Amino acid sequence: MNRKKQARRLSFSFAVFLVAVLFSQVLIGWVFAKYFPVYTEASWYPFFISALPNYLIGMPLFLFMTRKIPESPLPGGERYTAGTVLRYAIIGIAISNLFAILGQFLHTPFAERFGVDENILEELIRNADVFSIVLFVVILAPIMEEWLFRRRFLNKALQFGKANAVVAGGLAFGLFHLNIPQFVYATALGIFWGMVYVRHRSFILVVVLHMITNAIGSLLMPWLAFQVNGGETIGGSFILLMIVAGPVLLFRERRGFYAAMRDDTKESGKKNPSLIFNVGFFVYVLLVVAVVVGMATLVVN
């Protein structure tokens, strides 16, 4: 398999992953609705019906689809400390909130057109119990998503150029969320976490950063907003502080990231096939757009 075919297959694997997951969700949902209808009313059910096909069907299929694509050589990354984790966590919180504002702005005309005024995850979290949020959102999602989009994908894709791989992985991660607000900030976060992974070569580090971001968004901020007197003010002040501090810390880390993202000079003259501008990724994008519009249409009807 030549390099262009490898890049195309790697990108197309996301499309296969998505189709398999969606069909599995429909099938499992039908089984539960017919034979175990009582469980469909449980607060954990939406997380379960989303997670099970992803983890037990989609990800093994992605592993199978990409098995013949060689992994890139992975030299040891920079060592990191607790201070490094804290700085990256602040940067991640800043990125997620800044790009969430942009995502909501882009989502507004779509919401007005289809009458959808909130994204699915926000509604799920609002109605879910704490145990389900901790298990599915804070623990399982970061582990499995970082394995797929950073460890598995980047380990295969870095041979096509670091920037090429990181941006493609970030876009694929954003599209995976299947709604406009999350697409925008998840893409930005995916690119940042991809840069962190390339710099430090640590799966554990990106999982921890993902867990921190999810815990703040799904547990801390809702708790402050609904359970603490004056919590919205406290939460808003915290986010504002992160938004101010995050870009400053990212600027201070720029040289380290620039050095880590620079391709080997021996490879720099080699033409790398794009992981985004190919048929495989194009099919993935079309499928995501079709699903998002289809879900919005179903909500309206």
Q: Domain-by-domain residue ranges, the chain?
A: 3-61+84-264+272-300
Helix, coil or strand: residue 19: helix
* Distance from C-alpha of 19 to C-alpha of 284, rounded to nearest angstrom: 9
Asked whether residue 60 carries a pLDDT value surpassing 70, the answer given is yes
pLDDT tier at 300 (50, 70, 90 boundaries)? low
Q: Which residues of 107-121 are buried (b: 16+ CB within 10 A; e: fewer)?
A: beeebeebebeebbb
- What global pTM score does this model have? 0.93
Residue 226: pLDDT band (50, 70, 90) is: confident
Residue 280 has pLDDT above 70, yes or no: yes
Which residue, among 140, 117, 145, 92, has the nearest Cα to 300 in the 3D structure? 117
Q: What is residue 69's three-state secondary structure?
A: coil
pLDDT in tens, 34-59: 999 999 989 899 999 999 999 999 99
The rounded distance, in Å, linking the Cα atoms of 161 and 245 is: 30
Q: Indicate the residue type of 77.
A: G
List pLDDT tens digits, range 227-278: 888 888 999 999 999 999 999 999 999 999 999 999 865 555 568 999 999 9
Listed residue (153, 156, 220, 159) closest to 191, CA to CA: 153
Region 275-295: mean pLDDT is 94
Per-residue confidence (pLDDT) for residue 269, from 0 to 100: 55
Residue 104 has pLDDT above 80, yes or no: yes
pLDDT, tens only, 109-166: 877 776 655 556 666 777 788 999 999 999 999 999 999 999 999 999 999 999 999 9
Average pLDDT of the chain? 91
Output the pLDDT for position 66. 96
Residue 118 is predicted with a pLDDT of 54
Tokens of 78: 């920079």
User: What confidence score (pLDDT) does residue 73 get?
Assistant: 75
The pLDDT value given to residue 19: 96
Q: In degrees, to the nearest 5, what angle opens at C-alpha 276 toward C-alphas 122 and 258?
A: 85
